[in-house]
Structure 1
């Protein structure tokens, strides 16, 4: 059994949700220390881990980042944590690559930094690590994510994953309560919410750039069936291919919610409660990853860059420190039936390829 699979099989048994990765981070920190990294725990007051290996020779600081958290699920009526997005695989690949690079004395210049980040699924883990100083000295940054089978199969990899900007808008709509027999004396929060939803659905941006805005949660209840409800809570999921498109979409959605609710005399308070920026990738790092994939998997294993409507909080690092040269690749592992599905599974043998790609890329930069 390869070391990466050994790490993976253990981490898979201890899934922990964002900012609660206590066992996970303890294991990763212990393994990094044993490999020869100077390790710092509780980065930013969280479960985040940073390990540093200094070659002693002048050169850049390259960081490898992996997320650690599992997803929360309700399965058979029971709330539980389960690794259904592959973060245990990401941590296992980065840890194994780090161990082998040191064992092989492959770091000849600069510093190799390992970042194990909590709470990617919450969209706040990267920000916590940034606040804790994890990237203050970082010049280059690499990340990766396993891919569903329909995008990328075992034996293939994508050199640049262009994630979209994504966000969540929470809205409280205030109407006026009334008896069901006298609706003219009230303002129905349901009608107002429907007006807001229809107004958002009528938004049109430049069709050359992908975007979407849709209501995903609607809560409204007067407590009885013969009364006009006075309050509704509506949540929207918004996504855009580019950050500039997201700026326009966010502005129009917030305005549409207000005006849509106002058509029946209601007031709406809308706010963005979570937003993740779109990918900003460096061409040089993408080229290094493409060459590394080709060396590891052959020409047939190198796919084209890929754009996805999914979000990834990795790109807070480049938003907060634009001078960082970042690369992010997707690894084919035949993941089915899909990421975030409670029964997601994949070809764990493919993790060895991810380790090899990481090692080749690091050697190109620090070797």
Structure 2
């Protein structure tokens, strides 16, 4: 059994949610220390890890990043953590890359940093790592993600994945309870929430933009069926291929929610639960990745850059530290039935290919 699959098998069976990756980070940090890396644990008070390999010679600082957290699911009525986004695969690939780079003689110049990040799914892990100083000295930062089968099959890889910006908006409408027979004495929070859903659906941005806004949760219950509910919670998922489009979309959505509450005489508390920026990708970093993919998978294995409506908190690093050259690629793994599906699975042989691509990237920058 290869190191990569061994790491994957262990990590896959200890899924942990964001900022709770205690067993996961301990396993990874122990392996890195055993390999000979300088390891710093608990970055910024989290489960984050930074491992450093020095060449002893001047040169650039290259960082490879992997995410560690699992997703929360309700399965058979039970709340469980499960690796359904492939972060266990990402961690296994980057951990093995680090081990093999050191075992094969290390690097010729500069410094290699290995980042294992918590809470990607929460959208705040990259922010916590950045605020903890993890990338202050980094010149180039590379990350990757396993891709669904319909987007990129086994044996191919995408040199640049252009993710979309996303935001999760929660609105809690506050009305006034009343008997169902005397609705004029109350303020129906359900009506205000339902009106807000329709108002957001009526938003129209320029057709030249790629965007969407849709309600994904509506919670309202007075406890009985003959009372006017005094509170309703609605959550919206917002997407935009461009950061500028997200700024406009978010402003329009917030205005629609506030106006709907006002129209019904309700009040509303609005929170942005999560935000992720659209992709910020550097041409030089993409060139390094493309050359590495071509070396490992051949010309037929290198696809064109691709766009996805999904979001990725990796791009917070580049939003917060715009001087860094960032690259983010996608690895084909025959992944089905889809990311975040409770039964997601993929061809584990793809993990070894991911290691080879990352090792080639390291040689090209620090060799």
For the aligned residue pairs, the C-alpha RMSD in angstroms reads 1.1
Match of 1:251 in 2: 251
1:298, 1:183 → 2: CA distance?
Answer: 69
CA shift for structure 1 position 106: 4.5
2:173, 2:248 → 1: CA distance?
Answer: 23
CA shift for structure 1 position 103: 1.4
Higher mean displacement: 176-185 or 7-16: 176-185
Match of 1:355 in 2: 355
1:348 partner SS: coil
TM alignment of 1:133-282, pairs within 5 A: 133-282=133-282
1:184, 1:69 → 2: CA distance?
Answer: 49
Tell me the alpha carbon deviations over residues 221-276 of structure 1, each in whole angstroms, 9 at most, x when there is no partner: 12211111121111111111111111111100000111122222222222212111
CA shift for structure 1 position 187: 1.9
Give the count of matched residue pairs: 367
CA shift for structure 1 position 186: 2.1
Match of 1:338 in 2: 338
TM-score of the aligned structures, taking structure 1 as reference length: 0.98
2:354, 2:98 → 1: CA distance?
Answer: 12
Higher mean displacement: 223-232 or 56-65: 223-232
2:159, 2:328 → 1: CA distance?
Answer: 7
CA contact (8 A) 1:67 1:90 kept: yes
CA contact (8 A) 1:69 1:121 kept: yes
1:291, 1:208 → 2: CA distance?
Answer: 33
CA contact (8 A) 1:62 1:138 kept: yes
Match of 1:115 in 2: 115
CA contact (8 A) 2:55 2:106 kept: no
Give the gaps of 5 or more residues in structure 1. Answer: none
Match of 1:85 in 2: 85
1:249, 1:320 → 2: CA distance?
Answer: 22
2:34, 2:106 → 1: CA distance?
Answer: 17
2:320 maps to 1:320: yes
TM alignment of 1:284-323, pairs within 5 A: 284-323=284-323
TM-score of the aligned structures, taking structure 2 as reference length: 0.98
CA contact (8 A) 1:196 1:256 kept: yes
CA contact (8 A) 1:198 1:260 kept: no
CA contact (8 A) 1:124 1:313 kept: yes
Match of 1:44 in 2: 44
Higher mean displacement: 225-234 or 281-290: 225-234
2:295, 2:209 → 1: CA distance?
Answer: 34
2:295, 2:128 → 1: CA distance?
Answer: 35
2:41 partner SS: strand
CA shift for structure 1 position 300: 0.8
Match of 1:32 in 2: 32
2:155, 2:345 → 1: CA distance?
Answer: 16
